[in-house]
Amino acid sequence: MLEAARTPGLHLHTYSEVEDVKGFVGNFEVKVRKHARYVNNDCNGCGACLDVCPAYGYDEFNEGLNPRKAIYIAFTQAVPSMAQIDMTKCIKCELCKGVCELKAIDFDQEDEILDLKVGSIVVATGWDEYEPQKGYLGYGVYPNVITQMKLERILAPNGPTVGHLVRPSDGKRPKSILFIQCVGSRDLNMNTYCSSGVCCMISIKNTKLIKQHYPDTDIIVAYMDMRAAGKDYEEYFTASRKEGIKYIRTNVSTLKEDPETHNIKVVIQNTVRDSLGPREMEFDMVVLSAALTPAKGVEKIERLLKLETSQDGFFKEFHSRLNPIDTKIPGIALAGVSQGPKSISESIAQGRAAASSLARLMGKDKYRIMLIRATVEKDKCAKCGLCELNCPYNAITVKEDGAEVDEILCRGCGTCLANCPSEAITLRYYREPQYEKQIDAILEEI
């Protein structure tokens, strides 16, 4: 991010969101709302304001494992490195304003609307971790049942515990840990898809990391299938087993907490080797490997960009096999997990592919389209709206004088033609009289 911020011609609009998108390839008009930080650009991120702030809020970056001040810097190495104020927690004491030598605090600051003109758009929304329902496998009820993202922040050197492995209930180091795979994924009642093996590889990575720092920790991974599909992934999985990490193929349906010790008791049966049946085991902490889900807010982006999502909620590509980069809208491409669950290497590859696809498109002075497009005879149009409803490319709008086709968005698929009850829509170069003449010519030869 630091390198990106220093790149000439590259403008970062952080703490902002897209409000509206109009236009077409090469000529998009984007309206962006830049949210008020209540701190102006003079801020150098010194942190003096943080020291005096008496109000606290929820630390989103650390998954709520620790509080943060009402005025805060989003995370270490945030770009730009400047403070912002959470007005839902701020008590307006203005102590921050008093200690700021640069006079950067501005309580009267308002949201700013930016009007941008761009030629192409890359959708790279990232992902969110699936949050299990409260009580499912003890989540949200037992303090020592956490998700992988919380464990990531605990193990991080810049996390709330400075990288020391502790359990939330009492701050002690857990001596035994159970990892439960496929939480919220590969389940008809939650998410039917697999998260592309990402959950498996995160578990392998974190178990190895814990073993390296605390060799005496007893770690068990409860899995349905360990999916280590990728270059050197299987070797990494094998290395973790050599370090003493146990992998048990089983389904964990219920667990309970010891109210005195806050340890978690789980009934486990190894379905591959164990012939003795299920047995109860006790762990100091349980980690849920939750699914990758579409980022919050994709519904708004879907509506603004007139895109589609597949049944799993991720953005739909032009073709799942032949063209997983571009969308049905020319000039809009997908990158990373916005299109589907992916590992870091796959996300980087698709990001490069999206940049290449749009650079090739924008490198030309003209965008050529085939003129196989729908046309409307407005004197026949009944304005029923079936064409607008069924158009997969959102290229038709019904107006007062009849349906109107956007020739940039239209792909000439003919769906509107098949649905029009008034026969007011025809397809350029594919009109019925043309077919009739061809059929007559063929029959004449016979």
Predicted TM-score of the model (pTM): 0.87
At a CB cut-off of 8 Å and minimum separation 6, what does 85 contact?
Answer: 37, 38, 39, 70, 71, 96, 105, 107
Q: What is the pLDDT of residue 210?
A: 97
Per-position b or e across 362-379, b if 16+ CB within 10 A of its CB:
eeeeeeeeeeebbebeee
User: CA 86, 91, 92, 97 torsion: positive or negative?
Assistant: negative
Query: In DSSP terms, which residues pair with 285 in a beta bridge?
Result: 177
Diameter of the chain measured on Cα atoms: 95
Residue 286 φ/ψ region, left for φ over 0, alpha for ψ in the -120 to 50 degree band, beta for the rest: beta
Alpha helices per DSSP H over 85-214: 95-99, 148-155, 198-213
Nearest-CA neighbor of 385 among 422, 411, 432, 428?
Answer: 422
Q: Token match 């494992």: residue?
A: 65
DSSP 2-24: HHHHTSTT-----SEEEEEEEEE
Q: How far apart are CA 303 and CA 90, in angstroms?
A: 33
Per-position b or e across 144-181, b if 16+ CB within 10 A of its CB:
bbbbbbbbbbbbeeebbbeeebebbbeeeebebbbbbb
CA 151 to chain centre: 19
Q: What is the pLDDT of residue 276?
A: 62
Nearest-CA neighbor of 153 among 245, 66, 70?
Answer: 66
Q: How far apart are CA 113 and CA 16, in angstroms?
A: 10
Which domains does the chain possess?
1-34+113-119 (no CATH), 36-110 (3.30.70), 121-367 (3.50.50.60), 374-445 (3.30.70.20)
pLDDT in tens, the chain (446 residues): 788 888 998 999 999 999 999 988 899 999 999 999 999 999 999 999 999 999 999 999 999 999 999 999 999 889 999 999 999 999 999 999 999 999 999 999 999 999 999 999 999 999 999 999 999 999 999 999 999 999 999 999 999 999 999 999 999 999 999 999 999 999 988 999 999 889 999 999 999 999 999 999 999 999 999 999 888 999 999 999 999 999 999 988 789 999 999 999 999 888 877 656 788 899 999 999 999 999 999 999 999 998 989 999 999 999 988 999 999 888 999 999 999 999 999 999 999 999 999 999 999 888 888 888 999 999 999 999 999 999 988 899 999 999 999 888 888 889 999 999 999 999 888 777 777 888 888 888 77
Q: Are 391 and 427 in contact (CB under 8 A)?
A: no
